[in-house]
Structure 1
Amino acid sequence: MELRQLEHFIAVAEESHFTRAARRMHIAQSGLSASIRALEVELGAPLFLRTTRQVELTQAGRALLPEARRALATVEAARDAVAAVQGLLRGTLSVGSLQCLHVVHLPAVLSRFHELHPGVEIRMRQSGNAELVEEVRAGRLDLAFVTRQPRLADDLRVSTLASEPLVLACAPGSPFAGRESVALDELEEQPFVDFNADWGTRDEVDRTLAAAGVDRHVAVEVNDVHSLLDFVGFGLGVALVPQSFAVKPTRAHFVGLRGDVPVAETVVVTGHTVSAAAHVLLDMVVEARAGRLRAAG
């Protein structure tokens, strides 16, 4: 089995089309088809269901796809390790992140990384927690910044970047606005503004309120912090948000929670094989995070 065959297989699987895959790999379609056939013969199983309109993975193909991605990622990591010894970073760094990552200013960190390592192509993707984690697990992302999930696959590494309490955000005219603290059960009949499912801290807030026995109604769903705070500030609902949101310019007021205060934990997820470029970026993120904490102190 050759690495080139795995590259051809992944291209066809992702494009669901031999012609597009051949164009992507800069190879004649006949050569691509021959490569896939040779791989199927070696493995003793068909990898694709071919029709006149589309190409679909067989059960064997679906089983091979994550392993093929991991194999290529391991090879790329080996190349990166040799390059790193020579003081050279090259290749591609694929980064996933929640939108409005509040614990570190990622654009500034990526800009600095690009300045220091212009030979590395940076690819950036924003999405929900579960999708980003799956992209890392499948080898399509080198690392992702997400909110910690209750259960993560054993083939992933998880490192905590920041942990902070949740607070209540409410409008200036809300009866909660002048309070020092609020209990979760007082929020029973309040309309809520929150992120879309699997976005930001939404899942953590869902679990927190369910555990407190609060049957809530989400009146407004958004996918960015600024919209959430705007809707809250103008009285469309309350929200439970990380404490650091209080530094953002907004009409909303922030009130602490009483009792067993829930926390939002931002983590970095990687595979067990981490590229040299990803290691460098993680070091820069930790340094930038420490700098922000020193400035805040």
Structure 2
Amino acid sequence: MDIRQLEYFLAVVDHGSFNRAAAALYFSQPSLSQAIRALERDLGSDLFHRIGRRVVLTEAGTALIEPARATVRGLELARASVESVHGVRTGRVEIAAMPSQAVAPLTGMIRRFHQAHPGVSVTVRAAATPRDVTEMVRTGAAELGLLASLAPPPDTEVRAHSLPEQRFVLLAPPDGSFAPGTTVADRKELAGLRLIVGQQGTGMRRYVDDLIAEGVDVTFAVETEHRIAILPLVLAGLGLAVVTDAWRELARQAGVRVLDLEPRTSLRVTLVSRHGATTAAAKAFLRTALTEDPPCCKCCL
């Protein structure tokens, strides 16, 4: 067994098939299959069930994921430690982020980081729920994570760095019944509305579920896992959406009305990192990420 075989194994796990993993690795699919077969012979156990073009992890394959990630990360850490002697000039930082937080504050974080370390690339991996983020960081699928939740993640799994909270707002079409600048002063004003909602486990879905539990009668017009589809759906008049104010500026630029919701309800935004050693690039990203943007003008002071 060697480190490259483990990298190939993890590529298949992360991409869900030999074909997609081979394309991501710029490697031929037969050669990748051969490498995985060699790893399985070394371990004396099948790692995947081959079902047509799909692959499903065996029990042995599932057991290998975490130690494989730890081994690959250990090698990356060793390389990064040597490179850091000359400063953080090259390398890569992998960040798992939920969709809304990938809009803000992550965009600003990456901008500040690239200003300080232009030679280091940033890879953003999609995570749908807070649990997805913490699990990706805990197991080594990403070094850092960005999430929003009602409560901070447990310190036993990851190291948490608190960021400013994000409040919930309502997105409405420009020709809708809510006038520009309106504040929805009571949740009962949402009764009878058709809403575009996210998947279970997300903060925006939890807000709507709480509305229903309080007896506010709303209709699910669209339920989507694709957060990027929310603005076009609102603009098309298919419904309204409760999101965090990470979307505020993009929504306004798109022509969607952004309405504050009262009573104010917010999500905790947290940047998380792994316990133990991290690469110099990840440490540098943490330093710049936790530094707030300076005010853009006197009115922001």
Quote the residue 2:149 is aligned against. Answer: 148
Quote the residue 1:184 is aligned against. Answer: 187
> CA contact under 8 A between 1:97 and 1:126: conserved in structure 2?
yes
Larger Rg: 1 or 2?
A: 1
Where do residues 72-91 of structure 1 align in structure 2 (5 Å cutoff)?
72-91=72-91
In the TM superposition, residue 289 of structure 1 has moved relative to its aligned partner by 4.0
Where do residues 125-274 of structure 1 align in structure 2 (5 Å cutoff)?
125-129=125-129, 130-148=131-149, 152=153, 154-170=156-172, 174=177, 181-194=184-197, 196-197=198-199, 201-221=203-223, 223-224=226-227, 227-228=230-231, 231=234, 236-243=238-245, 245-247=247-249, 248-249=252-253, 250-252=255-257, 254-258=259-263, 261-273=264-276, 274=278
Where do 5+ consecutive residues of structure 2 fail to align? none
More divergent stretch after superposition (132-141 vs 277-286): 132-141
Distance 1:294 1:128, change over 3 A: farther
CA distance in 1, matches of 2:221, 2:191: 13
CA distance in 1, matches of 2:68, 2:49: 20
Aligned partner (choices 275, 280, 283) of residue 287 of structure 2: 283
CA distance in 2, matches of 1:254, 1:175: 8
Tell me how many residue pairs correspond in the alignment. Answer: 287
3-state SS of 1:6 partner: helix
CA distance in 2, matches of 1:26, 1:119: 34
> CA contact under 8 A between 1:99 and 1:200: conserved in structure 2?
no
> CA contact under 8 A between 1:104 and 1:288: conserved in structure 2?
no
CA distance in 1, matches of 2:165, 2:299: 18
CA distance in 1, matches of 2:188, 2:153: 30
Asked whether 1:69 is paired with 2:69, we answer yes
In the TM superposition, residue 110 of structure 1 has moved relative to its aligned partner by 2.9
> CA contact under 8 A between 1:97 and 1:127: conserved in structure 2?
yes
3-state SS of 1:141 partner: coil
Distance 1:24 1:188, change over 3 A: same
The TM-score, its normalising length taken from structure 2, stands at 0.71
In the TM superposition, residue 98 of structure 1 has moved relative to its aligned partner by 3.6
The TM-score, its normalising length taken from structure 1, stands at 0.71
CA distance in 1, matches of 2:114, 2:139: 25
> CA contact under 8 A between 1:184 and 1:257: conserved in structure 2?
yes
> CA contact under 8 A between 1:160 and 1:265: conserved in structure 2?
yes
3-state SS of 2:291 partner: helix
CA distance in 2, matches of 1:221, 1:231: 13
In the TM superposition, residue 76 of structure 1 has moved relative to its aligned partner by 1.8
> CA contact under 8 A between 1:89 and 1:120: conserved in structure 2?
yes
Deviations 1:209-253 (A, max 9, x none): 245343432224564579538727x76544333356555343525
> CA contact under 8 A between 1:170 and 1:177: conserved in structure 2?
no
Deviations 1:72-95 (A, max 9, x none): 213322432343243244332222
Where do residues 94-113 of structure 1 align in structure 2 (5 Å cutoff)?
94-99=94-99, 101=101, 102-104=103-105, 106=107, 109-111=109-111, 113=113
CA distance in 2, matches of 1:244, 1:9: 36
In the TM superposition, residue 187 of structure 1 has moved relative to its aligned partner by 2.3
Paired residue type of 2:60: A
Paired residue type of 1:191: R
Deviations 1:169-197 (A, max 9, x none): 44675368786552223423222234x31
3-state SS of 1:272 partner: coil
Deviations 1:93-134 (A, max 9, x none): 22233445454361x543553454354333233452354444
Where do 5+ consecutive residues of structure 1 fail to align? none
Say what the alpha-carbon RMSD is for the aligned residues. Answer: 4.3
> CA contact under 8 A between 2:172 and 2:258: conserved in structure 1?
yes
Distance 1:184 1:12, change over 3 A: closer
In the TM superposition, residue 163 of structure 1 has moved relative to its aligned partner by 0.6
Paired residue type of 1:296: C
> CA contact under 8 A between 1:208 and 1:262: conserved in structure 2?
no
Distance 1:28 1:253, change over 3 A: closer
Identity %: 24
3-state SS of 2:141 partner: coil
CA distance in 1, matches of 2:183, 2:52: 63
